[in-house]
């Protein structure tokens, strides 16, 4: 495979070189203000010798401007920005297939004082770009007042399952990025992070289904990038945000951001305090081994959190910058779960006993991430960046678990089995990476390397409760350590062989070595598992764009998803004496091959067809344990396939009514023999979302969103029934837009809170209903203070955050 991939890239490179001469000319450069701050959104125009406008563009976040398809001739370059004096270049000549690169252009501040400039422009709710789709949260009213996880559930093409796993266009294995950096977390820890974020602090959500080779190959479904609001304006400024909403239980938050920008030095920091209660209820019938188990489970989880983040950017020279940022997340969870299980012996059809069990958890969990980034721009054609990161995660979980069996006839106590255990997790992550990019003629060559070192330590101390006192049980206590090293190298070639065609070909190579060790007094065959494997991940994209009506792209890529660190841990975590979750140290990574064709008409109507094959898919299945009990365990499924169709279309009905529709269809299959458990499921899955933004009198903005989801597959093994719901939001500005008041409602008719599920495999027949606290009504207030003159900046991306996403409880 290595030979074929390298041969393909080399052949493609020379083919593109041969065709590169067919392109047209280009004019590009960078524009800066005082302190070498990029003068973003400056108007850059190309004037002919008669001062007639020929072409125009806006400078980007890093100051870059680029004018394509310039015809031969004599021109002037003119740059306008309301903060600076107008810049006009000397006359220059453009020849056929010429590349004109201006040296860095420094604008002079204007002496004219402008008291106030008010720009009233709102981004479209959904934007479609060649490489991603953007959901502009700041333009959505009913997104306000929710946490980050709930916000993702409201994003077109995204679905949250009952375990809070994120499904993107029918596929699991999503990497969550924050401001262009992987979030480092997964499972329950990612849930904690997202629930600690407020949607009011989020600018947009970017969906990237086919990332290039520059990104880590991790994540079979693609990337969701959460872009936080950054009020990097001149001087000092910030905001204060509070929100409260109520369903069966309450959730609220209070936060503030502070920003300062003096030119060469800019800083930002923010803090948020959250207090949320989450309610779930399971009603389930399970038939197995001649018994019928009727379960009623209720859980109320209280989560208190402090989320602090801070960043600092310093311009060293006009060509180099140094950035530092850190994030501290402190959470405390108090989980209370109660289950009542009536056990019936089907041989006599009489209930024999009832188990009443509780699981009471106290879980303090600190998480800290630190990142240092250096960026150097030697000239307008090349860039170099270096990044080093460190992350520390710990969770100290204390659990009290009483189990009492009652006789069904007279409700007398038959026996009690009480236990207590401490399960602690400590994870350290180090990572460093280097990236280099250079433009040579029509080619842009990118290359980079990365190294990650991950060390985990999981300790379980189990106690039996005898005569009311905890007694240490050495036979059920153990320690599991896991070490993983990943070394990566990538190369990308990007070229425009013709004015309307772009080719991008990349290859990423990753070597993974891992060692999992179990230290226990009870001998076990899985006490040590060692792996070492090297993989190639090619990514190829071909795009055509006439810059008017039509754009089409074809993409091919291969990616990997490694197991969560705790999924490899063979610990058994019990909900009761009859229900448990157990890790699997033999869990292998899964691989996906993606094919995608995308067509866009006038950048509004977008149709995409994807086909993917996932080998060794992660499926979580029920297994019978001791006749009456069962446990959930992750196992590798032979293959899962997904054939999807996505259609999106925004439409401006009138000046006061904007309508956006989003449709997803997936035909999914899950098939495999999972160590004796045979799964063979097929499903036609449909998702609709209709979002209406309506401008009412007095500056009031209202939003109505309706969604409908067809039956789908959960955990790769469980069938879920359809559900739908309606959300609304109302927004009004006060005090010259310094104060923003929003009212929201989610699932207002309570049609999207109950989920019916069923499964039949491995000797178990399960039929159940899970209920969530989704019907909620709330309000939020945002107050902006300080200088609101807009300035933004560009930050580097972190190296380590690819690894932390795999942490779970």
pLDDT band at 42 (very low <50, low <70, confident <90, very high): confident
What is the token pair recorded at 346?
A: 């089907």
Distance CA 201, CA 257 (A): 9
Distance CA 333, CA 303 (A): 5
Q: Which residues pair with 686 in a beta bridge?
A: 665
What percent of the chain shows pLDDT beyond 70?
A: 87
132-136, 414-418, 426-430, 701-705: least confident range: 132-136
With beta carbons less than 8 A apart as the criterion, state whether 726 and 704 touch. yes
With beta carbons less than 8 A apart as the criterion, state whether 447 and 434 touch. no
Distance CA 271, CA 738 (A): 20
Residues in Cβ contact with 31 at an 8 Å cutoff, skipping those fewer than 6 apart? 38, 39, 42, 44, 59, 63, 65, 79, 87, 104, 105, 107
Distance CA 121, CA 126 (A): 15
> Looking at residue 795, what is its pLDDT?
42
Residue pLDDT, tens place only, 299-341: 999 999 898 989 888 888 878 889 898 889 898 999 999 999 9
With beta carbons less than 8 A apart as the criterion, state whether 204 and 178 touch. no
Q: What is the mean pLDDT of residues 773-802?
A: 68
* DSSP at 22: G
pLDDT band at 4 (very low <50, low <70, confident <90, very high): very low
pLDDT band at 136 (very low <50, low <70, confident <90, very high): confident
91-95, 192-196, 441-445, 568-572: least confident range: 192-196
Q: Which residues pair with 581 in a beta bridge?
A: 573, 632
Distance CA 536, CA 557 (A): 11
> Looking at residue 187, what is its pLDDT?
64
381 pLDDT higher than 50: yes
Higher pLDDT, 595 or 111: 595
Residue pLDDT, tens place only, 91-103: 888 888 788 888 8
78-92, 160-174, 237-251, 406-420: least confident range: 160-174
DSSP states of 219-286: -SSEEEEEEE-----SEEEEEEEEEEEESSSEEEEEEEEEEEE-SSEEEEEEEEEEEEEEEEEEEEEE
Q: Would you say the C-alpha torsion 216, 218, 222, 227 has a positive or negative sign?
A: negative
110-114, 689-693, 793-797: least confident range: 793-797
Distance CA 432, CA 437 (A): 17
Q: 78 — phi, psi (to 5°)?
A: -125, 135
> Looking at residue 386, what is its pLDDT?
93
With beta carbons less than 8 A apart as the criterion, state whether 764 and 175 touch. no
Distance CA 100, CA 107 (A): 19
Q: Which residues pair with 482 in a beta bridge?
A: 456, 516
> Looking at residue 806, what is its pLDDT?
54
* DSSP at 348: T
With beta carbons less than 8 A apart as the criterion, state whether 646 and 676 touch. no
Helices (H) and strands (E) in the chain, counts: 4, 48
> Looking at residue 8, what is its pLDDT?
42
User: Which position has the token pair 């021109």?
Assistant: 75
> Looking at residue 124, what is its pLDDT?
63
What is the token pair recorded at 40?
A: 């973003």
534 pLDDT higher than 90: yes
Can you state the percent helix, strand and coil of the chain, rounding each to 5?
5, 65, 25
What is the pLDDT of the chain when averaged over all its residues?
83
Largest CA distance in the chain: 101
136-140, 228-232, 734-738, 763-767: least confident range: 228-232
With beta carbons less than 8 A apart as the criterion, state whether 645 and 685 touch. no
Q: Single out the residue of 679, 728, 730, 729 nearest to residue 700, CA to CA.
A: 730
> Looking at residue 196, what is its pLDDT?
66
Higher pLDDT, 10 or 249: 249
> Looking at residue 665, what is its pLDDT?
93
Residue pLDDT, tens place only, 175-233: 787 776 666 566 666 776 777 677 777 888 888 877 777 777 777 677 888 887 765 45
pLDDT band at 280 (very low <50, low <70, confident <90, very high): very high
What percent of the chain shows pLDDT beyond 90?
A: 33
* DSSP at 697: G
Q: Single out the residue of 625, 572, 629, 579 nearest to residue 297, CA to CA.
A: 579
pLDDT band at 16 (very low <50, low <70, confident <90, very high): very low
Q: What is the mean pLDDT of residues 260-273?
A: 84
> Looking at residue 130, what is its pLDDT?
53
What is the token pair recorded at 101?
A: 């690169």
Distance CA 374, CA 798 (A): 11
627 pLDDT higher than 80: no
Q: 608 — phi, psi (to 5°)?
A: -130, 135
With beta carbons less than 8 A apart as the criterion, state whether 243 and 780 touch. yes
- Strands 202-208 and 181-182, sheet pairing: unpaired
115 pLDDT higher than 50: no
Residue pLDDT, tens place only, 47-80: 887 677 778 887 876 778 888 878 888 888 999 8
What is the token pair recorded at 624?
A: 């019978």
Distance of CA 418 to the CA centre of its chain: 39
The residue ranges of DSSP E strands in 735-800, in sequence order, are 739-746, 754-761, 764-772, 776-786
600 pLDDT higher than 90: no
SS3 117: coil
pLDDT band at 113 (very low <50, low <70, confident <90, very high): very low
259 pLDDT higher than 50: yes
111-120, 361-370, 573-582, 686-695: least confident range: 111-120
449 pLDDT higher than 50: yes
9 pLDDT higher than 60: no
What is the token pair recorded at 212?
A: 């290039």
Q: Single out the residue of 83, 77, 86, 101 nearest to residue 40, CA to CA.
A: 83
Q: What is the mean pLDDT of residues 511-519?
A: 91
Higher pLDDT, 804 or 563: 563
Pick left, alpha or beta for residue 83 (phi over 0 → left; psi -120 to 50 → alpha; otherwise beta).
Answer: alpha
Q: Single out the residue of 672, 767, 759 nearest to residue 713, CA to CA.
A: 759
Q: What is the mean pLDDT of residues 402-420?
A: 91
Residues in Cβ contact with 743 at an 8 Å cutoff, skipping those fewer than 6 apart? 729, 730, 777, 778, 779
> Looking at residue 344, what is its pLDDT?
92
With beta carbons less than 8 A apart as the criterion, state whether 608 and 595 touch. no
Q: 3-class secondary structure for 392-451?
A: EEEEEEEEEECEEEEECCCCCEEEECCEEEEEEEEEEEEEEEEEEEEEECCEEEEEEEEE
Distance CA 159, CA 441 (A): 43
DSSP H/E element including 3:
helix 2-19
Distance CA 419, CA 475 (A): 14
789 pLDDT higher than 70: no
């Amino acid at each position: 495979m290595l030979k074929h991939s390298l041969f393909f890239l080399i052949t493609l490179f020379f083919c593109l070189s041969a065709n590169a001469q067919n392109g047209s000319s280009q004019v590009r450069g960078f524009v800066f203000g005082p302190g070498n701050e990029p003068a973003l959104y400056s108007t850059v125009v190309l004037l002919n010798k008669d001062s007639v406008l020929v072409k125009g563009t806006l400078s980007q976040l890093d100051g870059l401007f680029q004018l394509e398809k310039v015809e031969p001739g004599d021109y002037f370059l003119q740059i306008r920005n309301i903060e600076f004096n107008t810049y006009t270049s000397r006359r220059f000549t453009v020849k056929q297939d010429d590349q004109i690169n201006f040296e860095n252009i420094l604008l002079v501040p204007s002496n004219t004082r402008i008291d106030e400039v008010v720009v009233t422009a709102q981004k479209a709710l959904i934007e479609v770009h060649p490489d991603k789709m953007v959901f502009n949260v700041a333009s959505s009213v009913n997104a306000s007042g929710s946490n980050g996880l709930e916000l993702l559930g409201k994003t077109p093409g995204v679905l949250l399952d009952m375990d809070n796993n994120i499904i993107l266009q029918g596929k699991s294995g999503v990497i969550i990025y924050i401001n262009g950096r992987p979030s480092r977390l997964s499972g329950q820890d990612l849930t904690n992070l997202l629930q600690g974020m407020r949607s009011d602090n989020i600018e947009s959500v970017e969906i990237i289904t086919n990332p290039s080779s520059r990104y880590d190959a991790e994540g079979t479904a693609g990337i969701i990038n959460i872009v936080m609001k950054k009020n990097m304006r001149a001087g000092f400024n910030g905001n204060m945000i509070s929100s409260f909403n109520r369903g069966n239980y309450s959730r609220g938050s209070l936060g503030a951001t502070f920003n300062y920008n003096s030119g060469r030095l800019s800083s930002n920091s923010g803090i948020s305090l959250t207090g949320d209660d989450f309610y779930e209820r399971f009603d389930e019938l399970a038939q197995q081994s001649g018994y019928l188990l009727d379960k009623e489970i209720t859980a109320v989880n209280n989560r208190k959190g402090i989320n602090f983040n801070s960043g600092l950017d310093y311009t060293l020279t006009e060509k180099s910058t140094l950035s530092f940022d850190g994030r501290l997340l402190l959470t405390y969870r108090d989980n209370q779960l109660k289950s009542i299980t009536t056990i019936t012996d089907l041989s006599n059809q009489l209930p024999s006993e009832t188990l009443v069990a509780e699981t009471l958890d106290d879980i303090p969990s600190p998480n800290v991430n630190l990142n240092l980034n250096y960026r150097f721009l030697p000239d307008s054609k090349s860039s170099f960046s270096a990044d080093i990161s460190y992350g520390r995660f710990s969770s100290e979980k204390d659990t009290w678990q009483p189990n009492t069996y009652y006789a069904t006839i007279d409700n007398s106590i038959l026996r009690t089995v009480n236990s207590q255990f401490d399960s602690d997790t400590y994870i350290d992550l180090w990572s460093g990476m280097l990236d280099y990019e250079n433009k040579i003629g029509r080619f842009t060559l990118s290359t980079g390397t990365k190294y990650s070192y991950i060390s985990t330590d999981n300790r379980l101390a189990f106690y039996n409760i005898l005569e009311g006192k905890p007694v240490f049980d050495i036979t059920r206590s153990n320690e599991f350590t896991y070490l993983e090293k990943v070394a990566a190298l990538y190369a990308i070639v990007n070229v425009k062989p013709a004015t309307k065609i772009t080719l991008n070909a990349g290859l990423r190579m990753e070597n993974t070595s891992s060692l999992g060790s179990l230290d226990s007094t009870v001998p076990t065959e899985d006490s040590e598992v060692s792996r070492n494997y090297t993989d190639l991940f090619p990514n190829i994209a071909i795009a055509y764009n006439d810059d008017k009506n039509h754009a089409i792209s074809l993409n091919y890529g291969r990616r990997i998803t490694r197991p969560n660190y705790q999924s490899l841990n063979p610990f058994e975590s019990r909900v009761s004496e009859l229900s448990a979750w157990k890790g699997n140290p033999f869990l292998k990574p899964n691989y996906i091959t993606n094919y995608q064709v995308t067509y866009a008409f006038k950048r509004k109507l977008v149709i995409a067809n994807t086909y993917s094959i996932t080998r060794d898919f992660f499926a979580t299945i029920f297994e019978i344990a001791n006749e009456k009990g069962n446990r959930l365990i992750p196992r590798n499924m032979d293959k899962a396939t997904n054939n999807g169709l996505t259609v999106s279309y925004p439409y401006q009905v009138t000046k006061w009514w904007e309508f956006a529709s989003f449709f997803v269809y997936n035909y999914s299959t899950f098939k495999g023999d999972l160590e004796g458990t045979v799964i063979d499921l097929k499903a036609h899955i449909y998702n609709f979302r209709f979002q209406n933004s309506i401008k009412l009198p007095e500056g009031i903005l209202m939003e109505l969103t309706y969604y409908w989801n067809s039956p789908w597959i959960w955990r790769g093994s469980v069938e879920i029934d359809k559900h739908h719901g309606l959300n609304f939001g109302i927004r009004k500005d006060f005090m010259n837009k310094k104060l923003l008041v929003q009212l929201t409602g989610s699932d207002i008719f309570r049609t999207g809170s109950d989920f019916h599920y069923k499964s039949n495999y491995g000797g178990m027949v399960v039929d159940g209903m899970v209920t969530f606290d989704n019907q909620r009504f709330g309000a939020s207030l945002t107050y902006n203070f300080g200088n609101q003159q807009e300035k933004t900046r560009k930050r580097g991306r972190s190296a380590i955050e690819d690894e932390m996403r795999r942490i779970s409880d």
